[in-house]
Structure 1
Amino acid sequence: MIISHDVSGTGPAVVLLHSSVCDRRMWDPQWQALLDAGHRVIRCDFRGFGDTPLADAPYGVAADVLALLDHLDIETTALIGASYGGRIALTVAALRPTAVTALALLGAAKSGHEPSDTLLAFDAQEEELLTAGDIEGAVELNVRTWLGPEADEATRELVRRMQRHNFEVQLTAQVGPRKEEVDLTRITAPTLALSGAHDLPDFRQIAASLPTLLPNARHRELPWAGHLPNLERPAEVTALLTDFLRESLAGR
């Protein structure tokens, strides 16, 4: 199965990988700007998110992304990933390093990270709400946790809709993704790791550690941001992303 996706434009490809709180709609603020910057832009929904149905057998999320690239005849691409999508972007770049020209990561997760007490407490609270059947409570917990103070009410409502749909679909899941173990030191792409000062410590720590792990990575912390900065200050983050992609192309 090819996961649901949008594709438009011509020029160097860029693939947008969403957070597990969201779906591909989280990239609405960046879509047109990336097209205007001269990119072929692709965004997708992972299985159980947005328009992509659940799987009936174990699967690899990064493998799904690679299958989509092959389906679209994309030999090289930049990847922009948020949170869980950042983890998948790192995995794709390690599995097929010659295919990835640049990595932009927003509050990225990372395989093998040991969760902090703060993140464990969030997970426990979310699980308690879902076990009690309180989907709305779990939705509000996620909105409070993952959006920083700059997010307006329209943005909060969008995240509510996306997260509510994700819960409603995924609570019926019989199988989940398989682990995709990779060696991140295989990544060669220039990497921009963004973190938010209002985010949980885990994601700030991961972003700050990437320049010590990857050969061509830099970290920037946004003092105003939470976990989803592209939704919190869209214009500012879009400019950071388009500037980084332009710089990466110029350096090839």
Structure 2
Amino acid sequence: MTLTHDLAGDGPSTVLLLHSGVCDRRMWDGQFHALAEAGHRVVRCDLRGFGDTPVDAPHTHADDVRDLLDHLGAAPAVVVGSSFGGEVALELAARHPGHVSALALLGSAMPGFVPSDALRAWGGREDELLEAGDLDGAVELNVDTWLGPEAGPEARALVREMQRRAFELQLAAPEEFSPVSPEVTADDLAGIEVPALVAVGAHDLPDFRAIADDLTRLLPGARRVDLDWAGHLPALERPEETARLLTAFLAEPAIR
């Protein structure tokens, strides 16, 4: 299947936006048109089990993204990934390197990263709420966890809506349609040679700051930016500032 997606702009380079695991393509409302106006062809998509893309078969997210870029004739693309979307971007770059010309990773997750006891406990609490049928409680747990201090009521309401939609899609899917995670090692990540922006918020969870340390060390083309105002989802917390960050990265000589 082709992932549900939106297109904007008509520049010579393509920028693909991959959402976090608590969001869908709407999380990029504050950057989607700004990047198009800066001269880029911009694609944002809903991964399978998010937004408007159903779970209809076993799948690997990175392969779905590869197929979307092929469908659009848009490879290679600069891939921007938030949180879980960053992990998918890294898997795509490691397994299908001809499809990625650069990476921008915002509070990125990472293949193979072992979560802390605190993050595992958080995941256990989410599972308990879902197993008890308390969808409202699970949604609020995510809203409270993943948005930083700069997030206003509109951002919180949007994450609440996006996360509920993801839960509804994923809980209704047969177990055999669960995503398959490809094996991507630290050596595979060290082989990703494209330019990479690694941005992380000062108010993000410690796990994601540790991941930023690892990615800065592993990726040969990495440049790290610490955002002193940000939590886990800077694109929603300060949309305009995040758009400027991405626009400046895309304007660097190594990207063009």
Letter in 1 for 2:182: E
> Are residues 1:5 and 2:5 paired?
yes
Q: Secondary structure at the match of 2:251?
A: helix
Please list the CA deviations of residues 189-224 of structure 1 after superposition, one character each: whole Å capped at 9, or x if unmatched.
Answer: 100111111111111111122121011101122121
| Paired residues for 1:29-108 under 5 Å | 29-56=30-57, 58-108=58-108
Mapped contact 1:5–1:45 kept (Cα < 8 A) = yes
Query: Under a length normalisation based on structure 1, what TM-score does the superposition of the two structures give?
Result: 0.96
Q: CA deviation at 1:186?
A: 2.3
Mapped contact 1:55–1:176 kept (Cα < 8 A) = no
Q: CA deviation at 1:118?
A: 1.6
Letter in 1 for 2:73: D
Deviates more, 1:181-190 or 1:145-154: 181-190
Q: Secondary structure at the match of 1:177?
A: coil
Q: CA deviation at 1:250?
A: 4.9
Letter in 2 for 1:37: A
> Are residues 1:176 and 2:181 paired?
no
Q: CA deviation at 1:35?
A: 0.6
Q: Distance in 2 between matches of 1:154 and 1:75?
A: 34
Mapped contact 1:185–1:214 kept (Cα < 8 A) = yes
**Against the structure 1 CA distance between its residues 116 and 9, is the aligned structure 2 distance closer, same or farther, given a 3 Å change threshold?**
same
Please list the CA deviations of residues 76-128 of structure 1 after superposition, one character each: whole Å capped at 9, or x if unmatched.
Answer: 11000000000000111112223312100011111110100121111011111
Mapped contact 2:15–2:41 kept (Cα < 8 A) = yes
Identity rate of aligned residues, in percent? 58
| Paired residues for 1:200-211 under 5 Å | 200-211=205-216
Q: Distance in 1 between matches of 2:179 and 2:156?
A: 28
> Are residues 1:220 and 2:222 paired?
no
Q: CA deviation at 1:251?
A: 5.3
Q: Distance in 2 between matches of 1:251 and 1:244?
A: 8
Q: Distance in 1 between matches of 2:180 and 2:202?
A: 32
Query: Under a length normalisation based on structure 2, what TM-score does the superposition of the two structures give?
Result: 0.95
Q: Which runs of 5 or more structure 1 residues have no equivalent in the other structure?
A: none
Mapped contact 2:152–2:237 kept (Cα < 8 A) = yes
**What residue in structure 1 maps to residue 242 of structure 2?**
237
After the TM superposition, list the runs of 4 or more consecutive aligned residues in structure 1 that deviate by more than 3 angstroms: 249-252
Q: Distance in 1 between matches of 2:15 and 2:195?
A: 14
Superposition RMSD in Å: 1.1
Q: Which runs of 5 or more structure 2 residues have no equivalent in the other structure?
A: none
**Against the structure 1 CA distance between its residues 251 and 109, is the aligned structure 2 distance closer, same or farther, given a 3 Å change threshold?**
closer
